[in-house]
Structure 1
Amino acid sequence: MSPGVIAAFDNPDALVAALRAARDAGWRRMDAYAPYPVPEAAKLLGATGARVAWIAIGAGLFGAALAYATQWWLSVHAYPLNVGGRPLHALPAFLPATTIVAVLWAAAGALIGMLALNRLPRLSHPVFAVPGFGRASEDRFFLCLFAGDPGLDAREALHLLRRQKPLSLAELPG
């Protein structure tokens, strides 16, 4: 049994139309590949960036708290120095480093979160073996319907995608 079916299209409108047809037919396990973002396709697939944003915010807040706590501990408890009569806990002196560390942690959190949520780096995937799939980063738009949706199989996927008049149609290698 094939793990799925993939179809190639020459423009984003054809990809979106095929996505709509697949959703209307009951497919939920599907993915689209395009050389540039296609917002309508992302919406149909249910893709959002909200989870990455929350990961970045959480990491940034954690980094800021860690940086501030470290500065406070060092200045007040571990190595207190009274320089020019300033208080040991000097908020304005701690803010620049706290901000810089927060931005660093937020950026690192966003990168790691995006990679984890996208399950990257992926060194092997069935679509990589499809002839012509390399053009997904150049000028082709691909829709892949994966097997596993209840009541749907590769034969139905082939029939559905054939009606969308793709440039090419192939079963994913097992």
Structure 2
Amino acid sequence: MTAPPPPLVLAEFRDPDTLIAAARRAREAGLRGLDAHTPFAVEGLAAALDLPTPPLRRIMLLAGLAAAGFVYALCWYSAVIDYPLVLGSRPLHSWPVFLVLSFEAGVLGATLAGIAGLFVSAGLPRLNHPVFDGRGFDRASQDRFFLAVSDPEADPARLEAILDGLAPLSVRAVAT
């Protein structure tokens, strides 16, 4: 039996500066599971939310190196061990020829790992999120700024007390 998801509380704001201030206050108050939904990119929002750096770059690097190493080893094995042909007195281990295939395999491996990592980190193929059920949330793609708090200790009254003085347009719980 799985645990129920933590409650989701949405705070709605008119402008990005207030959203950034609200995110800082919520983070300083110890709330976890902060997320923001805005109609355009807001500079400084990632720092205000204190989002962790995703490990996608390292994963892509390791996958690319592994794919390149595997293809290089495969080329070496096939040319030196499995089917050695001496043509024009060239050496069996002709590494410059192997590098082209290894490079291409490395790029392909890193690309496939990046695509898979993007899907996993975005939580896809999840087709619906509880935040979409929030009243007025469709304005997040037009002119409103939302701070979503997914914390077991989050409730609208506590979040409203934390955001006191920032004048959110609304603070409400969303059924999960």
Q: Which residue of 1 aligns with 2:130?
A: 126
Residue segments in structure 1 that go unaligned for 5+ positions in a row: none
Runs ≥4 residues deviating over 4 A: none
Quick one: which of 6, 22, 34 aligns to 2:38? 34
Q: How far is the alpha carbon of 1:22 from its aligned partner? A: 0.9
Deviation at 1:10, TM superposition (A): 3.0
Q: Which protein is richer in helix relative to its size?
A: 1
Alpha carbons of 1:68 and 1:168: their partners in 2 closer, same or farther (altered >3 Å)? same
TM-score normalised by L of structure 1: 0.84
Matched, 1:110 2:111: no
Aligned to 2:174: 172
Kept in 2: contact 1:7–1:168 (CA 8 A): yes
Structure 2: tracts of 5 or more residues without a match: 1-5
Supply the distance in 2 between the matched residues of 1:82 and 1:26 (Cα, whole angstroms): 69
TM-fit CA distance, 1:48: 4.1
1:61 shift after superposition: 0.8
Once structures 1 and 2 are overlaid, which stretch shifts more, 107-116 or 161-170? 161-170
Cross-structure match for 2:75:
71
Identity across aligned pairs (percent)? 40
How does the TM-score come out when normalised to structure 2? 0.83
For residues 76 and 17 of structure 1, do their structure 2 counterparts lie closer, same or farther at Cα, with a shift above 3 Å needed? Answer: same
Root-mean-square deviation over aligned CA pairs? 2.2
Contact residue 23 and residue 48 of structure 2 kept, 8 A: yes
1:85 aligns with 2:85: no
